[in-house]
Amino acid sequence: MLPDSRQIASDIRRALEEDVGRGDLTAALVPRNHGVQAQLICRQEAVLSGIAWVDEVFRQVDSNVELEWHLGDGDRLNENQPACSIHGAAASLLTAERTGLNFLQTLSGTATVTAGYVAAVHGTGVNILDTRKTLPGLRLAQKYAVTCGGGVNHRMGLYDAILIKENHIAAAGSIAAVLKKARHLHPDVPLEIEVENLDELGEALEAGAGRVLLDNFSLQQLREAVKLNGGRARLEASGGVSLDTIRAIAETGVDDISVGALTKDVQAVDFSLLFTD
139 is catalytic: no
18 is catalytic: no
Catalytic residue among 98, 183, 234, 264: 98
Sequence-separated (6 or more) residues with CB below 8 Å from residue 138: 11, 106
Q: Taking Cα atoms as reference points, which of 263, 268, 198, 266 lies closest to residue 235?
A: 198
Q: Is the pTM of this model over 0.75?
A: yes
The residue type found at 232 is: R
Please report which confidence band the pLDDT of residue 28 belongs to, taking 50, 70 and 90 as the band edges.
confident
pLDDT in tens, 143-184: 999 999 999 999 999 999 999 999 999 888 899 999 999 999
Name the DSSP letter for residue 273.
Answer: E
End-to-end CA distance of the chain: 37
Catalytic residue among 59, 76, 132, 133: 133
CA separation, residue 208 to residues 62, 178, 237, 274 (Å):
56, 12, 19, 58
Q: Is the pLDDT of residue 32 over 90?
A: no
pLDDT in tens, 211-244: 999 999 999 999 999 999 999 999 999 998 999 9
